[in-house]
Copies of this chain bind each other. A is one copy, B any other.
Amino acid sequence: MDRAVHRAFRILETVTRAKEPMRLSTIASSLELQKSTVHRILQTLVAMGYVVQEPNGGRYRPTLRTWEMGSNVLHDHPVKRAAAPFLAELHRVTEETVSVMVLEGDDVIYLDKLIAPRPIRFTTRAGSRVPAPLTAGGQAMLALEPDARAVVERVARRLQAERAFDAETVLAALETVRARGYAVSRNNPDVVSVGAAILGRDGRAAGALSVSAPAERIDPARLEATVEAVRVICTRMAEFLGRL
C-alpha cells in the first residue's frame, strides 16, 4: 500500500470536505503529517489540476477536476441511469420532491433528486451521505439486508448522544417495513418521507426511491396514494433492471 498515495487522497478528501480554502498547516496538523510532506503532495495535486493555491503562498482549495471525474462515475452508474425515467414519473404523479439512493456501507448516498415546485425545508443534496436507518429509502433497503442489525447497531453507536436513536426501536420498525414493502419516516417533524426498495436480482436492494413532502400537505389519503405510487414504480423499475 503506497503510503504517498494514501496520504494524497486523505489530503484531497480533507480539502474537498472543507467549506473554505484550507491552510497548509491546518491540513498537516489535522492529518498528523509533516508540513513538508503535505506541501510536496499538494504541489503534486496542484500540478495535476486537482487543487489550486491562492496567490502568494495562500490557502489551498479543490478545483472542479474532482467533480468532473466524479460525474463520469455517476453518469455510468447503472442504477442512476435506469432510474431517470422512473424518477421523473414518480415526480410527475406525486408532484413532490423525489430521490434515488443506493446503500453504501451503513449509509445511503443520494444519486439524484427532483425537487418539488414548493421545496421542502430540510433537503439533502445529491451526493450527500446519510446514515441509512435515518431515511425512508435506507430503511426500505435495510429491510432486505441479512445483517441489518449490525448496520443499525453501528449507526446507533456513531450517532450516540448526537441524536435520539434507539437501535431496538429501529430494528422493530424494520420488521414492519419488511412485511409491508415500504417505509415511512418522520424523523423531521415537518417532513414525511416514503421510500421503497428497488429489488435486485440477488434479492437485495439495488437502490431505493423516496418521496418527501411537508408534513402538513400529507393527509392519510394522500399518504396512501404516495405509498402506492412509490411501490408501483419501484416494482416496475425492478422489472426493468431484471431484463438487462
Contacts and interface: CB of A to CB of B under 8 A. Distances in A.
Count of identical protomers in the assembly: 2
A4 interface: yes
Given A16-B69, A75-B125, A127-B72, A64 B102 contact: yes
A74 interface: yes
A165 interface: no
Given A5-B8, A40-B2, A17 B72 contact: yes
B1 A44 contact: yes
Contacts of A59: none
Nearest to A76: B19
A120 interface: no
A71 B41 CA distance: 22
B64 A126 contact: no
Contacts of A50: 9
Given A19-B76, A109-B64, A71 B5 contact: no
Given A1-B43, A8-B8, 8 more contacts: A1-B47, A2-B4, A2-B40, A62-B72, A64-B111, A66-B73, A68-B70, A68-B127
Interface of A: 1-2, 4-6, 8-9, 12-13, 16-17, 19, 40-41, 43-45, 47-48, 50, 62-64, 66-77, 102, 104, 109, 111, 125-129
Given A9-B48, A76-B19, A109-B64, A126 B71 contact: yes
A4 B4 contact: yes
Contacts of A66: 66, 69-70, 73
A132 B59 CA distance: 28
B67 A74 contact: yes
State the 8 A-B residue pairs at the shortest beta-carbon distance, nearest first: A71-B127, A70-B70, A67-B70, A5-B8, A66-B70, A67-B74, A2-B4, A62-B73
